[in-house]
Amino acid sequence: MNNIKKNRLKDQAFKIWGIACTLLGLVLLAIFIGNILIDGILRIDWEFVMNLPSRHAEESGIYTALMGSIWVLLLTTLIALPIGIAAAIYLEEYSKKNKLSTILEVNISNLAGVPSIIYGLLGLEVFVRIMEMGASVLAGSCTLALLILPIVIVSTREAIKAVPKSIRDASFAMGASKWQTVYHQLLPASFGGILTGIILALSRAVGETAPLIVIGALAYVPFAPSSPMDEFSVLPIQIFNWITRPQHGFVENAAAAIIILLLITFVMNGIAVYFRNKWQKKFK
């Protein structure tokens, strides 16, 4: 009798501990967001979004950084998408399971764990100097594309792997070649999963600061980029720059910019979740 009571108590105790652990992260995030909102929400208006940076806190806006982020995001997608998906298809459908493919797989996972600043150094050496792109949007995008490539590859492979084997069998048995099976069956069936992975990878890219600072992205750019070869800034760098200023006005600006950056990542994650749910329903 006593023992049963004890066990029940332990059960209860663990449940409460578990809830506390789960809430810890969320509560901290909520406090942070609350703080930022108090500091910055009043600063956000159309002018803040459309203004160029300025020496005066109340006149400066995020226009150049926001446009820079959008440019970088688009170019990164254009570069990382075809390469990542092609690599994933190769690894999942074409490569024979041998030592070489195991080494490749392990190292792609390793790449996902390399600190982002190392990618920045790589980008600086290869894209900025050797390929002479300079501190341009293109160099930044190439660097970020490399950074998210492992994530894109791994998530695309998972999505392709999740397509039931019976679909492959059916397609091959109908006389389809490997490529036809990939193109007509596997890619459409895994589209939602691939998209989810890519959006999550991009929402990481949009928040990256360190590698872009290393390749020479500037905190102050007078104009929004109009071609891939232009100099640029991005939102996180703009935030970093404002936070380091002593005047209180810039702290407000930073908070406001953080709200917008968070909004972008939350929306992107939301879209990813939406596609994942929609895609899961299709197969059940």
Partner 1 sequence: MSEENNESIIESSIKRKYKLQAKDVKVWYSDFMAIKGVSMDIKANKVTAFIGPSGCGKSTFLRLFNRMNDYVDDFKMGGDINIDGKDIYDKNINVELLRKQVGMVFQKPNPFPKSIFENVAYGLKIQGLKDKAFLQERVESSLKQVALWSEVKDDLNKSALALSGGQQQRLCIARTLAVEPSIILMDEPTSALDPISTAKIEELIYKLKDKYTIVIVTHNMQQASRISDNTAFFYLGELIEYDKTNKIFTNPEKKQTENYITGRFG
Q: Collapse the DSSP code of 207 into the 3-class scheme (helix H, G, I; strand E, B; otherwise coil) and give the result.
A: coil
Both tokens assigned to 260: 């917008």
Total of residues contacting partner 1 (CB under 8 A)? 21
Q: Please, what's the b/e burial string for 223-248 (b: 16 or more CB within 10 A of its CB; e: otherwise)?
A: ebbeebebbbbbbbbbbbbbeeeeee
C-alpha to C-alpha distance for 187 and 279, rounded to whole angstroms: 12
**Binding flag, residue 97, partner 1 (CB under 8 A):** yes
Among 170-178, 210-218, 225-233, 248-256, the segment contacting partner 1 (CB under 8 A): 170-178
| Cβ proximity to partner 1, 89 vs 239, nearer residue | 89
Among 22-30, 160-168, 201-209, 248-256, the segment contacting partner 1 (CB under 8 A): 160-168
**Binding flag, residue 169, partner 1 (CB under 8 A):** yes
What does each C-alpha distance from 187 to 3, 19, 33, 60 come to in angstroms? Answer: 56, 39, 38, 45
Among 7-15, 132-140, 177-185, 196-204, the segment contacting partner 1 (CB under 8 A): 177-185
**Binding flag, residue 278, partner 1 (CB under 8 A):** no
Among 89, 189, 205, 255, binds partner 1 (CB under 8 A): 189
Residues 6 or more apart whose CB falls under 8 angstroms from that of 71 comprise 137, 141, 225, 228, 232
**Binding flag, residue 99, partner 1 (CB under 8 A):** no
Among 28, 42, 174, 273, binds partner 1 (CB under 8 A): 174
C-alpha to C-alpha distance for 236 and 209, rounded to whole angstroms: 6
| Cβ proximity to partner 1, 196 vs 241, nearer residue | 196
Among 171, 196, 238, 241, binds partner 1 (CB under 8 A): 171
Burial class (CB in 10 A: 0-12, 13-18, 19+), 222: exposed
Least separation in angstroms between residue 157's CB and partner 1 is 17
Q: Collapse the DSSP code of 136 into the 3-class scheme (helix H, G, I; strand E, B; otherwise coil) and give the result.
A: strand
**Contact footprint for partner 1 (CB under 8 A):** 97, 164, 166-177, 180, 184-185, 188-189, 282-283
